[in-house]
Structure 1
């Protein structure tokens, strides 16, 4: 039960962080690339508040991964975009549309299926050297091509790939003591992946709506981590409920993508204040 409570609290903190970071990113000077933008945003108190929410959300999600499979933790975290929409409506005056209400119901249904199908388990240990190669190569590629990635969707997908690396490495480390984490090379790779993901996310938020950017990022992360978690990291499913996971992940991913699509192409899109 502890893991489920940690996951719920994580989603709330992630949602608050998304709202704060989106407002700060929209009003920032976007010249100079993702890392340059991230450096400027580091002086913005509102962005730092949002970043603190992201860190708190990550810490709780990290703890939840010690006993819950990635397909559930990442799907639960991705539902933060729905909570962020609700926060935006309540605090920033974002407009609510019927499609958004429908999408939130769809995402909630998918999450219920995943909760019902999940079986708590400890992840398989990944050898440090092999993990550095498998998880490090995508990060190197993302760093090398960052200045060439311009569109909102490619930026958000790149952020999703980086955060998938964060999720997968943390799943293998979540059962370790916090005091010993600095001794693991994969822990440092996890930190680097988080920074790369933040830089891509900052660029995506500065060039597109918060909802569509985060939805695309989350959909990428959920799909990648669900596949790798079940195939290689020891994530378990209650016998006979395998299709519940397929359907649940499909509903959550469809929900976040539809939410982003509706926000991008609506005639009166929800705007971020600032």
Structure 2
């Protein structure tokens, strides 16, 4: 039960972080790139508050991964998309199209199937050298293509790849003593992947709606981690419900494709001033 409580609290903190970062990213200068944008946002209190929310959400999800399979943890984290949208509508006056609401419902149905198919398990250990080869290469490729990507949805998908590396590496070390983590090479790989993902997320939030950016990022992470978790880390599925995972992931991906092609949030949410 502790793992499920950690996962629920993680989704709430992550949602609040996405909303705060979205507002802060949109009021940053338009001519800044990934590193420059992060440097500018590092002085923005609202962005730092949102980043703190994401850190809290990540810490809670990290501990949940010690007990729960990756596809369940990432599915729970993806629910933050709906929570962030609800908060934006109720508190900040965001306006969303009906198609966006329908798409979020479709994604929620997919996530319900994934949660229902999950069963607790302990991850297999991955040798550090193999992990650096398998998971470090995507980070190098992500850094290489950053300048050529401008649209919000592709940026969010690249952030999802980076955060998939974060989730996969953290799943393998989450059951280790906290004080021993600084001595674990995979922990530093996890930190590097988080920084790369944060850079792409900041760019995506500035150029697209919080809903579509976060949904694309999270769904990309769900797909990658679900496959790797089951295929390589020993994540298990309730017997007889394997097709639930396939259908659930399919609904999430379909929702992301529809959400990515939907119109952005109302102009009032894209013109926040300091």
Instruction: Give TM-score scaled by structure 1 length.
Output: 0.93
Work out whether residues 153 and 260 of structure 2, in 8 Å CA contact, stay in contact via their aligned partners in 1.
no
Q: Tell me by how many angstroms 1:233 deviates.
A: 0.8
Paired residue for 1:252?
Answer: 252
> How many aligned positions are there?
272
Give the 3-state SS of the residue equivalent to 2:99 in structure 1.
helix
Q: CA separation in 2, counterparts of 1:243 and 1:270?
A: 42
Paired residue for 1:115?
Answer: 115
Work out whether residues 159 and 201 of structure 2, in 8 Å CA contact, stay in contact via their aligned partners in 1.
yes
Q: Tell me by how many angstroms 1:204 deviates.
A: 1.1
Work out whether residues 21 and 51 of structure 2, in 8 Å CA contact, stay in contact via their aligned partners in 1.
yes
Aligned pairs for 1:79-228 within 5 A: 79-228=79-228
Q: Deviations over 1:30-72 (max 9, x none)?
A: 3241011001101000000000111011011111111111111
Paired residue for 2:61?
Answer: 61
Q: Deviations over 1:225-260 (max 9, x none)?
A: 111111111110011110111112222333344344
Q: What's the C-alpha RMSD, in Å, of the aligned pairs?
A: 1.7
Paired residue for 1:271?
Answer: 269
Give the 3-state SS of the residue equivalent to 2:29 in structure 1.
coil
Give the 3-state SS of the residue equivalent to 1:43 in structure 2.
coil
Paired residue for 2:43?
Answer: 43
Work out whether residues 119 and 237 of structure 1, in 8 Å CA contact, stay in contact via their aligned partners in 2.
yes
Q: CA separation in 1, counterparts of 2:113 and 2:95?
A: 29
Q: CA separation in 2, counterparts of 1:96 and 1:32?
A: 28
Q: Deviations over 1:202-223 (max 9, x none)?
A: 1111112221122221121111
Alignment CA distance shift 1:67-1:263 (3 Å): farther
Alignment CA distance shift 1:57-1:257 (3 Å): farther
Structure 1: stretches of 5+ with no match in the other structure:
none
Q: CA separation in 2, counterparts of 1:90 and 1:134?
A: 42
Paired residue for 1:18?
Answer: 18
Work out whether residues 27 and 271 of structure 2, in 8 Å CA contact, stay in contact via their aligned partners in 1.
no
Q: CA separation in 1, counterparts of 2:232 and 2:108?
A: 27
Q: CA separation in 1, counterparts of 2:31 and 2:154?
A: 18
Structure 2: stretches of 5+ with no match in the other structure:
none
Q: Tell me by how many angstroms 1:272 deviates.
A: 4.2
